[in-house]
């Protein structure tokens, strides 16, 4: 038995899950919020272990101090005897560019490249690098492994990842589609193959990672051939606060009319658009569904979200030349039966029928389509932490 820690260091948070491998048993999990800033009323450090939940209201100056706190609690609560019980740490990193098409051991050279890719994911990569450095310092005997969101999408063909820009911008600056959520798409696709009892390399799948951040991926023979997010996670679907696909000329037009500089405009596109921008009331799909029948803006935001999802799925069915299954995952995908039904109803004309009893379920693996549907719809909760832990173990065995 080997203890593996999967971590996701965000710009101001640290999420973690400690697993016993290869049994894949969760020992402890939790989150530390608002690192480097003043806490809001509900922001606590939360640790779950042995069926208990521990919550403490503390402020942390940086990721290193939050990691020291976390490791101390592991020993205080006897989750581990000492830090050396944890043999490996897997780090989620958003942007790996074209340098990384698989998970790798964290070396100084790897960390340097992660930092150099900061412009590809400015809110994530710098924090990811800080987390790797801090854990490496605190746990020098544990193998540190980097798992990239973009790696899974490195199998896309040129015609799908390039933009219609001068080709030299790609060769000089890496201007292309990279996608995101690759670890999630990879995990649920693999799990779908197990559920369908078919080899992954014989399936055509479309995975719908629908949450505050949302993306859709077309997977053929186990490989990503297209995905909705672009050079950065801002592109593709309408999301909680992100605009999704938009005419770049319109961006310049709004900048001029509103007298915004580049940073202010990017803030609008990343943080004030999407569901909150359209609905004007909430980033949360649950809030919008509650008032859908009485609030025009809420209904409009829902309809636009569903419409964009359906358009991408339709496009990917064409690219795949058919589909064996579509898979719903992440916050909205796993928990919002009304949104799932609205999306699936868009494909009634293709012979997809909703199993209403199964679709009423939340957060558990289930077939959402009827047995006589032309293709299957599945609900598969994502487990990026488990996928990360598996990658750590694989690299430990090769080391």
Q: How confident is the model at residue 43 (pLDDT cuts 50, 70, 90)?
A: low
Q: In whole angstroms, what is the distance from residue 70 CA to residue 89 CA?
A: 13
Q: In whole angstroms, what is the distance from residue 311 CA to residue 300 CA?
A: 16
Question: How high is the pLDDT of residue 134?
Answer: 85
Residues 6+ apart with CB under 8 A from 240: 211, 212, 213, 274, 275, 276, 283, 284
How much is the average pLDDT of 186-193?
96
User: pLDDT tens across 198-227, in order?
Assistant: 999 999 999 999 999 999 999 999 999 999
Question: How high is the pLDDT of residue 399?
Answer: 66
What is the pLDDT of the chain when averaged over all its residues?
91
Q: How confident is the model at residue 72 (pLDDT cuts 50, 70, 90)?
A: confident
Between residues 378 and 398, the one the model is more confident about: 378
Most confident of 27-36, 63-72, 294-303: 294-303
**Share of residues in the chain with pLDDT > 70 (%):** 96
Between residues 217 and 77, the one the model is more confident about: 217
pTM of the model: 0.91
How much is the average pLDDT of 307-336?
97
What is the dihedral angle through the alpha carbons of 381, 385, 388, 393, rounded to the nearest 10 degrees?
Answer: -110
Question: How high is the pLDDT of residue 347?
Answer: 98
How much is the average pLDDT of 299-310?
98
Between residues 286 and 57, the one the model is more confident about: 286
Q: How confident is the model at residue 47 (pLDDT cuts 50, 70, 90)?
A: confident
Q: 366-379 burial by CB neighbour count: b if 16+ within 10 A, else e?
A: bbbbeeebebbbbb
Between residues 32 and 228, the one the model is more confident about: 228
Q: In whole angstroms, what is the distance from residue 138 CA to residue 121 CA?
A: 26
How many secondary structure helices (H) and strands (E) does the chain include?
Answer: 15, 14
Q: In whole angstroms, what is the distance from residue 235 CA to residue 53 CA?
A: 37
Q: In the sheet that 104-105 helps form, which strands lie side by side, from edge to edge?
A: 52-56, 45-49, 25-32, 14-21, 2-9, 86-93, 143-148, 104-105
Residue 323 pLDDT > 90, yes or no?
A: yes
Give the HSE-up count for residue 239: Cα atoms under 13 Å, Cβ half-sphere.
29
**Residues designated catalytic:** 149
Residue 37 pLDDT > 60, yes or no?
A: no
The two three-digit tokens of residue 93, written as one number = 């990193």
Query: What pairing do the DSSP bridges indicate for beta strands 52-56 and 86-93?
Result: unpaired
**Low-confidence winner among 52-56, 80-84, 269-273 (lowest mean pLDDT):** 52-56
Work out the burial of residue 109: count CB atoms within 10 Å of its CB; fewer than 13 is exposed, 13-18 middle, 19 or more buried: exposed
Question: Which neighbouring-strand residues pair with 86?
Answer: 3
Residue 40 pLDDT > 80, yes or no?
A: no
Domains of the chain: 2-148 (3.30.420.40), 199-384 (3.30.420.40)
User: pLDDT tens across 146-174, in order?
Assistant: 999 999 999 999 999 999 999 999 999 99
Work out the burial of residue 17: count CB atoms within 10 Å of its CB; fewer than 13 is exposed, 13-18 middle, 19 or more buried: buried
Question: How high is the pLDDT of residue 236?
Answer: 97
């Amino acid at each position: 038995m080997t203890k593996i820690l999967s971590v996701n260091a965000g710009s101001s948070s640290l999420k973690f899950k400690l697993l016993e491998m290869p049994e894949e048993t969760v020992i402890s999990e939790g989150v530390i919020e608002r690192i480097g800033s003043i806490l809001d009323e509900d922001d606590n450090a939360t640790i779950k272990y042995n069926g208990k939940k521990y919550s403490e209201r503390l402020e942390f100056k940086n990721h290193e101090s939050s990691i020291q706190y976390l490791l101390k609690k592991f020993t205080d609560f006897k989750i581990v005897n000492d830090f050396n019980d944890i043999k490996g740490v897997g780090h989620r990193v958003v942007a790996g560019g074209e340098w990384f098409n698989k998970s790798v051991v964290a070396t100084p050279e790897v960390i340097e490249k992660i930092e150099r890719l900061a412009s590809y994911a400015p809110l994530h990569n710098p924090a990811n690098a800080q987390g790797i450095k801090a854990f490496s310092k605190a746990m020098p005997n544990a193998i540190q492994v980097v798992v990239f969101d973009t790696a899974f999408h490195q199998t896309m063909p040129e015609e799908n990842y390039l933009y219609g820009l001068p080709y030299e911008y790609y060769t000089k600056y890496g201007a292309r589609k990279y996608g995101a959520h690759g670890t999630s798409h990879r995990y649920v696709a693999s799990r779908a193959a197990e559920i369908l009892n078919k080899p992954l390399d014989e399936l055509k799948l479309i995975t719908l990672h629908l949450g505050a951040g949302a993306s859709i991926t077309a997977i053929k023979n186990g490989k990503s051939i297209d995905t909705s997010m672009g050079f950065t996670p801002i592109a593709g679907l309408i999301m909680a606060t992100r605009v999704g696909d938009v005419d770049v000329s319109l961006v310049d037009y709004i900048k001029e009319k509103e007298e915004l500089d580049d940073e202010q405009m990017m803030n609008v596109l990343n943080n004030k658009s999407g569901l909150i921008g359209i609905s004007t009331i909430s980033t949360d799909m649950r809030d919008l569904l509650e008032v859908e029948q009485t609030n025009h803006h809420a209904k409009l935001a829902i309809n636009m979200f569903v419409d964009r999802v359906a358009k991408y799925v339709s496009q990917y069915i064409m690219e795949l030349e058919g589909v064996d299954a579509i898979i719903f995952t992440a916050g909205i995908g796993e928990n919002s039966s009304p949104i799932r039904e609205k999306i699936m109803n868009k494909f009634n004309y293709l012979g997809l029928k909703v199993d209403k009893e199964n679709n009423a379920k939340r957060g558990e693996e289930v077939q959402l389509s009827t047995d006589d549907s032309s293709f299957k719809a599945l609900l598969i909760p994502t487990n990026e932490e488990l996928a990360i832990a598996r990658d750590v173990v694989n690299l430990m065995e090769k080391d």
